[in-house]
């Protein structure tokens, strides 16, 4: 069994398919996706379709991201739709349009709405790691975290968690295209929708796999990342193999 974590996808279905083809998650693998499946990139619909398929083939743990919250709030008229469209919502609605030009809520399948509302998680936790979308307040357990910390607080404000576990998160785009390291914390949002990469971390081996919208794939290790100027993580705690 592997524990795999994938950073913010943001509608980049080509990169996601290339990454999955490279990593090949199986039925025994736990796959944690860190949220922000929709908005900004060109194919939010395709990304959700892929995630629905992964529910059948892996032990998928899909986290909620702030862009899923915006999507659901706009659909429920709890957020100004124009405000959401300006931060990537337009691309999301266009991905659902058969003609790729008509913006309509009617094009969104109920199965996608149910996935986002009912099966996306606020957080996930293992013996050695905390998985959140954005960040976690260092002094509170995950069950007591506020929405502001879990979905909106930037990685710059992360500090070692009282549990001693290493936090793995997304949300704060690393425009270098490389994961960011801090003591007991790592950010896997590597700007897939921009000029960066979509990143997967194998928690047990410490190996990173990345793919981009051109379908290119590359691999490197935690040691490689630290050697390129990443802050040391006081040895990222790697779970022992099961």
Residue 143 CB contacts under 8 Å (≥ 6 apart), including other chains: none
Q: How far apart are CA 199 and CA 217, in angstroms?
A: 10
Per-domain residue ranges for the chain?
3-227
CA distances from 229 to 90, 169, 182 (A): 37, 19, 11
Task: Count other Cβ atoms within 10 Å, centred on residue 64.
Answer: 24
Distance CA 96, CA 75 (A): 14
pLDDT of 168 over the 60 cut: yes
Class of domain 3-227: alpha beta
Q: How far apart are CA 35 and CA 55, in angstroms?
A: 15
pLDDT of residue 100: 87
Q: Which residues contact 203 (CB under 8 A, 6 or more apart)?
A: 2, 3, 4, 5, 126, 128, 129, 168, 238, 239
- 239 or 133, greater pLDDT: 133
Q: Which residues contact 186 (CB under 8 A, 6 or more apart)?
A: 166, 167, 168, 169, 179, 180, 201, 233, 236
* 3-state SS, residue 57: helix
pLDDT digit string (tens) for 40-68?
Answer: 999 999 999 999 999 999 999 999 999 99
> pLDDT, tens digit, for every residue of 2-21?
999 999 999 999 999 999 99
Instruction: Please state the pTM of the whole predicted model.
Output: 0.93
């Amino acid at each position: 069994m592997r524990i795999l974590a994938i950073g913010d996808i943001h509608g980049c279905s080509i990169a996601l398919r290339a990454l999955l083809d490279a990593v090949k998650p199986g039925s025994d693998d736990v796959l944690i996706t860190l949220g922000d499946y929709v908005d900004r990139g060109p194919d939010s619909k395709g990304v959700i379709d892929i995630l629905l398929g992964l529910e059948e083939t892996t032990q998928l743990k899909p986290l909620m991201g702030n862009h899923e919250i915006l999507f659901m709030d706009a659909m429920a008229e709890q957020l100004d739709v124009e405000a959401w469209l300006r931060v990537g919502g337009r691309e999301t609605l266009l991905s659902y349009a058969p003609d790729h030009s008509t913006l309509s809520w009617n094009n969104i399948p109920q199965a996608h709405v149910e996935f986002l509302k009912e099966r996306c998680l606020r957080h996930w936790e293992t013996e050695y790691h905390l998985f959140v979308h954005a960040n976690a307040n260092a002094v509170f357990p995950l069950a007591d975290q506020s929405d502001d910390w879990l979905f909106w607080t930037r990685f710059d404000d992360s500090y070692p968690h009282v549990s001693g576990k290493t936090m793995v998160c997304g949300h704060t785009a690393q425009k270098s295209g490389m994961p960011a390291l801090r003591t007991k914390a790592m950010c896997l949002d590597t700007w897939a929708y921009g000029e960066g990469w979509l990143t997967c971390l194998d928690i047990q081996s410490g190996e990173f796999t990345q793919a981009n919208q051109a379908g290119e794939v590359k691999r490197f290790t935690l040691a490689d990342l630290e050697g390129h100027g990443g802050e040391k993580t006081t040895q990222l705690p790697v779970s022992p193999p099961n």
